Structure 1
Amino acid sequence: MDTLSYKTRSVNKENAGKKWLLVDVEGKPLGRAASEVAKLLRGKHKVEFTPHADTGDYVVVINADKITLSGNKEESKKYIRHTGYPGGQREKSFAELMAQNPGRIFEKAVKGMLPKNKLGRAIYRNLHVYAGTEHNHEGQQPQKYDI
């Protein structure tokens, strides 16, 4: 094959062709749904995936309050954070966090699956999570995406 007859295309943020996707996670396991959404955010489902650029799509997640966990993790799973002060370790159970802010659980799961650098923080801003079916991104006309 003649190596000069084709060009390798490198996609950047400007010509990535981002779309808006709508993902319904009702009844889906938390980890499986979060990993699929992380792939959509990174752009790994596209042919022109570029690891060093934000080529993923915008993702709107609905029904985050109806996510499921397998086994008895709903009672035993703990979310731990630290205030930054001595003795400031705090923990909340899955049920407590679900009662306060159900979307935060899904956001935390997806954020842990993204790169831990400047690109990961930029990609994370393309995620929009809502507890119910209502969202305020109808103007972007998101396409339904089944996971």
Structure 2
Amino acid sequence: MFKTLYYNKFKYKLYVLDCKKKKLGRLSTLIVNILIGKYNIFYTPNWNNNNKVILLNINKIFFKKKKKYINYTGYPGGQKIKSFEYLLKNNPKKILLHSILGMIKNNLLKKKIKKNIYLYTNKEKVIINNKYIKLKL
């Protein structure tokens, strides 16, 4: 009755999500659950399900203005604080990647899962040829 699952027989699914006026935390938890494969019937924590996520309009994410990104180098006076407004103008991809990768376990699959995230601002042109699933939050 039981059948073995083979990694080669899994086909990836392509998900597209528009990030305009979406909250950062809810958006990143949805993306992590898709990338890990928790919405898949055959969920196994030691396999990469190869689900791919395309995120559009990253620079229009909604967040509270009090948030700050803190980086500490380990040296005295090496703490650097940047506001999210500054990062949103200069590097909006860093905000989402930091929140998504912070929710994934630190193991060998994290590098493979990171390759399945595609982030685009509204200035970049995106061409999607495959069949995709449109997500709503």
TM-score per shorter chain, which class? Answer: 0.7 to 0.9
Structure 1: give runs of 5+ residues left out of the alignment: 1-5
Q: 1:115 to 1:62 in 2, by over 3 A?
A: same
Q: Note the C-alpha offset of 1:63.
A: 1.0
Q: 1:87 to 1:120 in 2, by over 3 A?
A: same
Q: 1:86 to 1:118 in 2, by over 3 A?
A: farther
2:23 is matched with: 29
Q: Note the C-alpha offset of 1:128.
A: 0.7
1:59 equivalent in alignment to 2:49: no
Q: Distance in 2 between matches of 1:134 and 1:141?
A: 21
- Structure 2 letter corresponding to 1:47: I
Match of 2:104 among 91, 107, 114: 114
1:97 equivalent in alignment to 2:126: no
Q: Distance in 1 between matches of 2:71 and 2:130?
A: 35
For the pair shown, the structure with the greater C-alpha radius of gyration is: 1
Residues 50-102 of structure 1: per-residue CA shift (max 9 Å, x gap): 11010141100001111112xxx31x211012346553221101111111111
With normalisation by structure 2, the TM-score equals 0.87
Q: How many equivalent residue pairs?
A: 137
- Structure 2 letter corresponding to 1:114: I
1:3 is matched with: none
Q: Note the C-alpha offset of 1:16.
A: 2.2
With normalisation by structure 1, the TM-score equals 0.82
RMSD across aligned C-alpha pairs, in angstroms? 2.0
SS in 2 for 1:23: strand
- Structure 2 letter corresponding to 1:109: S
1:44 is matched with: 38
Q: Distance in 1 between matches of 2:89 and 2:124?
A: 18
